[in-house]
Amino acid sequence: MISQGKIDLIEQYLNNELSEADRSGLEQDLATDAELAAEFNRRETAHMAMDFMIAENLRAELRTLEGTQAKTITMAPRRRRLYPLAIAASLIILIGALFMIQGGGSDPAALAASHYTAPDFTFRSGGDDIPTEITKGLQELKDQDYVSAINTLSQVDTDSPFEVLATYYIGHAYFAAKDFALAQSQFEKVVEAGDIRYSEDAEWYALLSCLAQEQTCAVPLEQIRSDIQHPYQKQAEEISDKLN
């Protein structure tokens, strides 16, 4: 959930009301926070639509004024019709812009961003000794150094009991880095491994990775939505309703 403070910062950014330091800080947050970036894109599009609406209304008013002052009487009726048409078109644009600002719409990528929550980067390991690659990789994830985290976690041996865990967090690193195709492939590997500690979470994040690629992902979405025992069933149902 994006805080009101972050939303205010986005609006101030779009209205050129932020200092250079605050602008730079927000841009850094946008580069690492997929949900915040999706909200920024929605609001930026809405601002552009409203700017267009205002410009079109001004043009229509100018044409109307020109029409009343024109010496050629036959042009006046046509110019008068432009004004209500411009208003109607502008109202449609404004309604769409407000709908986007309020978080409406059925864009799969926006839905993925709004439903993605990064895990706390801890592990469920039992009594085994934890490899240094795991502890180092998780710290790099916390530090948002995703490239290093991927490289470090990839060094975990394939026959290690921590290999599934490493793959799971590599998926999150790719998602945070906005490489959604690779994120999806990593989460699907976790699902195929059948480790009950991670499989349901991996199914959910594989779905979000799929949606983030602007796909409808009907099969995995329906699989989770129809499973009333799945921990993400309600979220999947919400996404399904918005897509349909």
Q: Select from 87, 105, 123 the last residue of a domain.
A: 105
Domain containing residue 59 = 4-105
DSSP secondary structure letter of residue 217: -
117 vs 43, more confident: 117
Q: Kindly state whether residues 87 and 129 are assigned to the same domain.
A: no
Q: Select from 105, 133, 157 the last residue of a domain.
A: 105
Number of domains in the chain: 2
pLDDT at 75: 44
Instruction: Give per-residue pLDDT as tens, 170-224.
Output: 999 999 999 999 999 999 999 999 999 999 999 999 999 999 998 889 999 999 9
Nearest to 180 by CA among 141, 212, 134: 212
Q: Kindly state whether residues 90 and 123 are assigned to the same domain.
A: no
pLDDT at 53: 56
Instruction: Give per-residue pLDDT as tens, 45-73.
Output: 776 656 655 555 566 666 666 565 544 44
C-alpha distances in angstroms, 240 versus 199, 203, 233?
21, 16, 10
Q: Kindly state whether residues 119 and 68 are assigned to the same domain.
A: no
Is pLDDT at 93 greater than 80 in this prediction? no
Q: Kindly state whether residues 80 and 129 are assigned to the same domain.
A: no
Query: What is the CATH number for 212?
Result: 1.25.40.10
pLDDT at 104: 47
Q: Kindly state whether residues 59 and 88 are assigned to the same domain.
A: yes
Q: Kindly state whether residues 206 and 166 are assigned to the same domain.
A: yes
Q: Kindly state whether residues 238 and 118 are assigned to the same domain.
A: yes
First-to-last C-alpha distance (Å) of the chain: 23
